[in-house]
Amino acid sequence: MEPDALLPLKPVDFLVLLVLADGERHGYGIVQDIEAESGGSVRLLPGNLYTVLGRLMRDGMIRESERRPAREMDDERRRYYALTPFGRRVLGAEALRLKALVRAAEARNLIREPAR
C-alpha cells in the first residue's frame, strides 16, 4: 500500500506517530509526550489511545516492540510500541502535506504568532 492512500491522518494518529518517531514508548509515555508536544491541549485517555494504537497496528504503521524492561524496573503489564518503516513514510508524507498547506496559508499572510 502506498503511504498516500492513508492520508490525511487524523490529528491524534499524527501525534502518536510523531512521538514514536523519537523512539519506542509505552502507553503512558505516549500520553505524556503528546501532552508535552501539544502544550497540554491534547490529553489522551486509555480507551481512545488504545483504539488508535489498535488501528495503527492494523494498518502496519506501528508494531509492538520486543523490548521488555527488567521486571523490577517497570510495570510488567506495559508494552512498548515502535514506528515501522512504513509508518515513518506515512508520517513523512503527512508532514509534507501539512507543510504545503501551511505554506499556502503563509503566502496569504494568515499566520500570526500570538503576542507574548
Residues in the site for another protein, rule: CB under 8 A?
A: 26-28, 31, 45-51, 53-55, 58, 75, 77-79
- Would you say 77 or 116 has its CB closer to another protein? 77
- Residue keyed to cell 492520508: 7
Q: What is the smallest separation between the CB atom of 75 and another protein, expressed in angstroms?
A: 5
Q: What is the smallest separation between the CB atom of 33 and another protein, expressed in angstroms?
A: 13
Q: Which amino acid is at 18?
A: L
> In sequence order, what are the residues at sequence separation of 6 or more whose Cβ sits closer than 8 angstroms to the Cβ of residue 74?
26
- Would you say 79 or 88 has its CB closer to another protein? 79
Q: Are strands 62-64 and 25-26 parallel, antiparallel or unpaired?
A: unpaired
- Residue keyed to cell 491541549: 41
- Would you say 27 or 63 has its CB closer to another protein? 27
